[in-house]
Structure 1
Amino acid sequence: MKLKILQISPQVPVPPVDGGKISIFGLLKALAERGHSIDFFCYRKHSDYNYSYNELSKFCNPRIIDVQTDNNVFKAFVNLFKKLPYNVSKFIRPEMWYAIKEYLKDNNPDIVHIDHIHMSWLIDHLRNVIDKPIVLREHNFESDIIYRYYLNQRNPISRMYFLKQYQRLLKFETTYAEKFDRVVMISDVDELKILKFNNNIKTTIIPAGVDNNLFQIKAYNHNKIPFSLFHIGDLEWKPNLDGLQWFVDEILPLIVKNFPKTQLFVYGKNTEKLIIPSELKKNVVKSGFVLNLWNELLDKQIGIVPLRIGSGIRIKVLELLAQGHLVVSTEIGKEGIPIVDRKHYLNANKPETFVEKISNVFKDFNDYKTICFNAQEFIKQNYAWSNVAEKFESLYVKLINNK
């Protein structure tokens, strides 16, 4: 059964260089490769229109709405006196609904797929004009991210602000999620969390995926730079910056004390946001955005995921494990991925544990190759995009037949 799918996203997912974009684009591409027709609506933000349109056109019919949704300090302050959470209100734009409404005059999709709770406001409009199943893809339980961010604030004014935002977002997220025919959670952890607040939400679990080509990379078989660490992620996303800054401030100095030649390579956008203490400048390399990231990582020993804030699944963790990299992660960093400490990765939540486990790897990397192999095999069996797309397809067909 070939479907006509209307997919709505808060951002252009190309190039797929961060977890959010990878999760949206990976499914889009995999569904298209299964023969489905996809009409894809998204906000342009700061992406290059021509590039984005051309890349998306390979897999769908793109409609890119020329709207920016950047954070704005003044609007964030004004939001204190409004009912909606700020990180939802900035995505409520009449330009998006106008474009969709015009599209629906000449098109009749079989199903509507909305990415992220930020775009869920559209369901009220859609219900008035079409009688089709509408699915919400929750890439994270967003309220939990804000709650964890609130817990990590030391400034009392910031704590008050984020507590208020958390309360508003929790109410919005759990209320709007109930309106959908199905809410697709990315992990069992997130499903339990959202149902705790509203067990009327109709949920199912389908994880994110990884590209099959990554399984061809055997990172553990490559020669490694001794005492090398790496971190990947856009530091514009506050949980990434928070975790990496914590690692640099509290953990890296202890590692360097024992291994002075340690080097931490930082990949991704906005690396200028990371503050490096003067005594560690020779130990940190801000590589920034690179075109061929996977080749860059082959000679690095350990990928670090020091997240203290977050929800959902870290797509980059899946991708690193799929390639056979050794990963040291906090519990939050690997949340939603049922991998086992010392079998698929190394778990560390405190500075002293990070230091211990990284130091042991530095002493003899070869002892850890089996962990890398086990992780790659586990991801291969459970997270290939082809399998994920098949699960979404089955869900769509079931909802359509039951409508």
Structure 2
Amino acid sequence: MPTTTPHTAPRRILFLTPQLPYPPEQGAALRNYSLICQVAQRHAVSLLTFAAHDAAVRGPLHALCQQVRTVPPPGRTRVDRLRTLALTRLPDMAQRLHSPAFVAALRDMVTREPFDVLQVEGIEMAPYARLVRQWLGENAPVLVFDDHNAEYVLQQRACLADARRPARWPAALYSLAQWQRLERFERAFCREADVVVAVSEADALALRRLDAALRPLVVPNGVDIERYHPGLPDSIPLHHPAVVFTGKMDYRSNVDAMLWFHRRVWPTVRRHVSAARLYVVGKNPHRRLAPLRSDRSVTVTGWVPDVLPYLGGADVVVAPMRTGGGTQLKVLEAMAAGRPLVTTSFGAEGVGLVPGRHALVEDDPERMARAISRLLTDAAAAQALGAAGRELVVERFDWSAVAARLEAVYAAI
């Protein structure tokens, strides 16, 4: 890969994203918005995305981008998903955002303006990149595929996690089918892309397992180290000692994490620290979280205008991920805020942290409970852990440094 040069000529870059990147309230939107903010400082960025029409006028995207076009997100029912499963060999993600209106908008944009780069944010957008190649042939822009997760690995992990519980066997079978289909689909699209971007070394390795010839560029998730900082105020305030989890709460990996945590870890924490309170912070709580809602020691917030007050009030942040992949933004945000973090091996993946120094990493529920309880009762240990985590994130995961890795891609065009 060519080295970055400060004299790279501005490129015309069209981002395709699965949702409006602003407000950046969850993982994909945070990554997309942060990359656009950085890339737009040096290049002419356009954006085509899914959003309610009135959403497009909110926020700073129009100031950042040459043009922003939105299409209403398509509806997709369980029947639609089952139809894809029964009648095609495609993974659900390949059909999830099928929209004739998006096709029309995309064709209009790429035929009106000769873009240098088509940056596809997430595998859901892969079918649209293929259309651009069909329409423009040799004149198609360079295709950069930002694979937010090694998606086949997520389905593999979900399948194996659900297979342990008989009540979840139907979900495990569905994930098994998606795992197999995504292996084929992800391999094929990675081969088609001119540049494949992975969010962690672990994801890059997973993609190379699909095809040893692939050479993914690692551009990790980052964090706004000025927005997320030590000393955030406990402005709500929370009931203390407070244990906090943040994330979009209809996302399968987050739901699984908190159901497991509440069932296997939280009762032991409460036995050690009876006054402890758990805050589950994030929009669209799934109905499977009903046991947490009925627990008086747990607050399930639903949507909140800002997660910062919850991080400011957190005595400990947890990320008990058992599935998922990539680099967890919730982990980076907690560490940037200087909060002591307890996570799992999956939660720590891609961060390069040293367990025991930057965060406590435990996969066993009893050991995780003891780790949380110790931090809740040892302020000095909690402060030292949070400070070390902050130092690591500032050094490696500031968005300006992360996005600079893409400059080598643009410079090579």
**TM-score, shorter chain, exceeding 0.5:** yes
Q: Give the secondary-structure state (helix, strand or coil) at the position aligned to 1:74.
A: helix
Q: Which one of the candidate residues 55, 59, 63 is aligned to 2:64?
A: 59
Count of aligned pairs between the two proteins: 393
Q: Which one of the candidate residues 3, 10, 19 is aligned to 1:2?
A: 10
Q: Give the secondary-structure state (helix, strand or coil) at the position aligned to 1:312.
A: coil
Distance, in Å, in 1 between the alignment partners of 2:223 and 2:171 is 36
Q: Give the secondary-structure state (helix, strand or coil) at the position aligned to 1:337.
A: coil
Distance, in Å, in 2 between the alignment partners of 1:389 and 1:349 is 32
TM-score (normalizing by structure 2)? 0.90
Q: Which one of the candidate residues 386, 390, 403 is aligned to 1:376?
A: 390
Distance, in Å, in 1 between the alignment partners of 2:369 and 2:233 is 21
Matching residue's letter, 1:275? A
Distance, in Å, in 2 between the alignment partners of 1:54 and 1:356 is 45
Q: Which one of the candidate residues 119, 122, 146 is aligned to 2:155?
A: 146
Checking the alignment, whether the CA contact within 8 Å between 1:6 and 1:112 is kept in structure 2 is yes
Matches within 5 A, 1:91-170: 91-128=97-134, 129=136, 130-153=139-162, 154=166, 155-170=168-183
- Identity over aligned residues, as a percent? 24
Q: Which one of the candidate residues 53, 78, 82 is aligned to 1:77?
A: 82
The CA RMSD over aligned residues, in Å, is 2.1
Distance, in Å, in 2 between the alignment partners of 1:161 and 1:266 is 27
Q: Which one of the candidate residues 27, 34, 38 is aligned to 1:26?
A: 34
Q: Where does residue 49 of structure 1 map in the other structure? A: 53
Distance, in Å, in 2 between the alignment partners of 1:261 and 1:166 is 42
Distance, in Å, in 2 between the alignment partners of 1:287 and 1:215 is 20
Distance, in Å, in 2 between the alignment partners of 1:379 and 1:220 is 20
Instruction: List alignment gaps of at least 5 residues for structure 1.
Output: none
Checking the alignment, whether the CA contact within 8 Å between 1:178 and 1:202 is kept in structure 2 is no
Distance, in Å, in 2 between the alignment partners of 1:358 and 1:315 is 20
- Residues 136, 277 of structure 1: alpha-carbon distance in 2 compared, 3 angstrom cutoff: closer
Checking the alignment, whether the CA contact within 8 Å between 1:215 and 1:376 is kept in structure 2 is no
Q: Where does residue 305 of structure 2 map in the other structure? A: 291
Checking the alignment, whether the CA contact within 8 Å between 1:123 and 1:179 is kept in structure 2 is no
- Residues 239, 297 of structure 1: alpha-carbon distance in 2 compared, 3 angstrom cutoff: same
Q: Give the secondary-structure state (helix, strand or coil) at the position aligned to 1:275.
A: helix
Q: Which one of the candidate residues 84, 89, 93 is aligned to 1:87?
A: 93
Report how far residue 98 of structure 1 moved: 1.8
Distance, in Å, in 1 between the alignment partners of 2:276 and 2:360 is 19
Distance, in Å, in 1 between the alignment partners of 2:114 and 2:286 is 46
Checking the alignment, whether the CA contact within 8 Å between 1:149 and 1:162 is kept in structure 2 is yes
Post-superposition Cα deviations, 1:259-290, rounded to whole Å, max 9, x if no partner, equal 22110011111236312269x72211122222
Q: Give the secondary-structure state (helix, strand or coil) at the position aligned to 1:325.
A: coil
Report how far residue 97 of structure 1 moved: 2.3
Matching residue's letter, 2:55? Y
Matches within 5 A, 1:219-258: 226-258=240-272
Checking the alignment, whether the CA contact within 8 Å between 1:220 and 1:369 is kept in structure 2 is no
Distance, in Å, in 2 between the alignment partners of 1:332 and 1:220 is 29
Checking the alignment, whether the CA contact within 8 Å between 1:219 and 1:325 is kept in structure 2 is no
Report how far residue 219 of structure 1 moved: 5.1
Post-superposition Cα deviations, 1:72-110, rounded to whole Å, max 9, x if no partner, equal 211122222211111221223332222111112220112
Q: Where does residue 316 of structure 1 map in the other structure? A: 330
Checking the alignment, whether the CA contact within 8 Å between 1:208 and 1:388 is kept in structure 2 is yes
Query: Does 1:11 find its partner at 2:19?
Result: yes
Report how far residue 117 of structure 1 moved: 1.4
Q: Where does residue 367 of structure 2 map in the other structure? A: 353
Q: Give the secondary-structure state (helix, strand or coil) at the position aligned to 1:349.
A: coil
Matching residue's letter, 1:50? D
Q: Give the secondary-structure state (helix, strand or coil) at the position aligned to 2:384.
A: helix
TM-score (normalizing by structure 1)? 0.92
Query: Does 1:276 find its partner at 2:291?
Result: yes
- Residues 221, 248 of structure 1: alpha-carbon distance in 2 compared, 3 angstrom cutoff: closer
Distance, in Å, in 1 between the alignment partners of 2:358 and 2:333 is 13
Matching residue's letter, 2:378? D
Matching residue's letter, 1:83? R
Report how far residue 201 of structure 1 moved: 2.4
Matching residue's letter, 1:116? G
Which deviates more from structure 2 when the two are superposed, residues 74-83 or residues 188-197? 74-83
Matching residue's letter, 2:82? F
Distance, in Å, in 2 between the alignment partners of 1:123 and 1:362 is 49
Q: Which one of the candidate residues 306, 324, 329 is aligned to 2:343?
A: 329
Distance, in Å, in 1 between the alignment partners of 2:356 and 2:39 is 35
Q: Where does residue 364 of structure 1 map in the other structure? A: 378
Report how far residue 254 of structure 1 moved: 1.4
Q: Give the secondary-structure state (helix, strand or coil) at the position aligned to 2:269.
A: helix
Checking the alignment, whether the CA contact within 8 Å between 2:222 and 2:399 is kept in structure 1 is yes
Instruction: List alignment gaps of at least 5 residues for structure 2.
Output: 1-8
Distance, in Å, in 1 between the alignment partners of 2:234 and 2:49 is 40
Matches within 5 A, 1:392-403: 392-398=406-412, 400=413
